Amino acid sequence: MSGEGDANVFVADNICFGFPGKRSVLDQVTFALKERHFHVLVGPSGAGKSTLLKLCAGLLNAKEGTFLLNGSAADCSQRLMQSVYMPQSDTLLPWRTVLDNVMLTLELQGKQSAEEMQERAMALLDSFGLRDCADAYPDQLSGGMKQRVMFARTMLKNVPLLLLDEPFSALDSLTRKQMQRWLLDVWQRDRRTVLMVTHDIDEALLLADTVLVLPSEPGETVQALEVTFARPRSFELIYEPAFVERKRLLEHMLLGGDNL
C-alpha cells in the first residue's frame, strides 16, 4: 500500500462525553483512523461504543476534545457531511420498496434527476445481489437481505468515512457468517475508511486492519491491535493458527491478563 494510503484521515483527540447526571463513559478518548483501512471497535457493553460512533458522525457534540479530518478540526456539521452512520436497529421505511429506500440517500442530496438516481441505485442493488428484490417491501425480506439494503443505502452516500454500529447483531449465527463474507467482498471492491462496532471477536479479526479496544474504565487508553493478514481474505482464515493467536491476544486485551 502507498504511503498516502496509510495517512491518518480521521483523528479523535482527547474526546470527553458524559450524559447529564451520569458518570462520564468517554473520558479523554484518543484514536486515529487510517485512510481506506477497516477499523473495528470492540469493548465492554455500556463502555460507550455507540456514543463514540455518534460523536464521530457529528450526531453528538463532544464536551471536550477535537476531531480532525485530514488534519483540520472538524465540527459536528463537517463530520455530518463527511461521514455516514449506520445505526444498529433497522431503520428502513416499511412503506417504501427496497429501491425507494435506497434512493432516499440520493433524494436527500437532491443533486440528481429521478432517472439518474434510479440508475445509480439499481447499479448498486445489482452489485449487492439485491436486483431481484428491488420492488419488494422491507417486511418481505429476510434479516440478511434487510441488512444488505441498509448497507446499500449507507454506502450510496458518497462520503469517505463509514461508521457502522453492530450491523450483524440481530442476525442468526449462520446468516451472520454469510454477511461477514459478503461485507468482506463488498469492502474489498469499494474500500473506504470504516469504523465498525462489533462484540464478535472472530468478526473483528476477519474484517479489520486495526482493532481498537475501548477500555471499560473512563480515562484508560484506547488500545490498537494491528491485523496484518493478507487480503483478499477468505473465511477459512479463522481456522489458521495465526488467527487463533491473534484471537487469544485480543481476548487478553479485552478481559485483562488474569483471565487468560
Ligand X SMILES: Nc1ncnc2c1ncn2[C@@H]1O[C@H](COP(=O)(O)OP(=O)(O)O)[C@@H](O)[C@H]1O
Cα separation values, 256 from 42, 108, 210, 215, 222, Å: 14, 45, 19, 10, 14
d(CA 126, CA 138): 17
Residue 50 in the binding site for Mg ion (CB under 5 A): yes
C-alpha grid cell for residue 221?
487508553
d(CA 1, CA 164): 24
Residue 210 in the binding site for ligand X (CB under 6 A): no
Residue 49 in the binding site for ligand X (CB under 6 A): yes
Residue 178 in the binding site for Mg ion (CB under 5 A): no
Residue 51 in the binding site for ligand X (CB under 6 A): yes
- For Mg ion, the closer of residues 39 and 233 by Cβ is 39
d(CA 106, CA 113): 10
Residue 24 in the binding site for ligand X (CB under 6 A): no
CA nearest neighbour of 137 among 171, 92, 88, 103? 92
d(CA 76, CA 83): 10
**Cβ neighbourhood burial of 28 (10 Å; 0-12, 13-18, 19+):** middle
- For ligand X, the closer of residues 47 and 62 by Cβ is 47
Per-residue b/e over 98-132, b at no fewer than 16 CB within 10 Å?
bbbbbbbbbeeeeeeeeeebbebbbebbeebebee
d(CA 152, CA 129): 10
Query: Residue 11: phi, psi to the nearest 5?
Result: -130, 135
Residue 47 in the binding site for ligand X (CB under 6 A): yes
Give min distance, CB of 254 to ligand X, in A: 13
Residue 235 in the binding site for ligand X (CB under 6 A): no
Residue 204 in the binding site for ligand X (CB under 6 A): no
Residue 219 in the binding site for ligand X (CB under 6 A): no
Residue of closest CB approach to Mg ion: 50
- For ligand X, the closer of residues 22 and 189 by Cβ is 22
Stretch that binds ligand X, among 17-25, 60-68, 73-81, 186-194 (CB under 6 A): 17-25
- For Mg ion, the closer of residues 50 and 112 by Cβ is 50
Pick the binder of ligand X from 11, 12, 15, 25 (CB under 6 A).
25
Give min distance, CB of 54 to ligand X, in A: 8
- For ligand X, the closer of residues 26 and 84 by Cβ is 26
CA nearest neighbour of 123 among 145, 152, 94, 144? 152
Give min distance, CB of 61 to ligand X, in A: 13
Query: Residue 52: phi, psi to the nearest 5?
Result: -65, -40
- For ligand X, the closer of residues 41 and 156 by Cβ is 41
Size of the site for ligand X (CB under 6 A): 11
* List of residues contacting Mg ion (CB under 5 A): 49-50
* List of residues contacting ligand X (CB under 6 A): 19, 22, 25, 43, 45-51
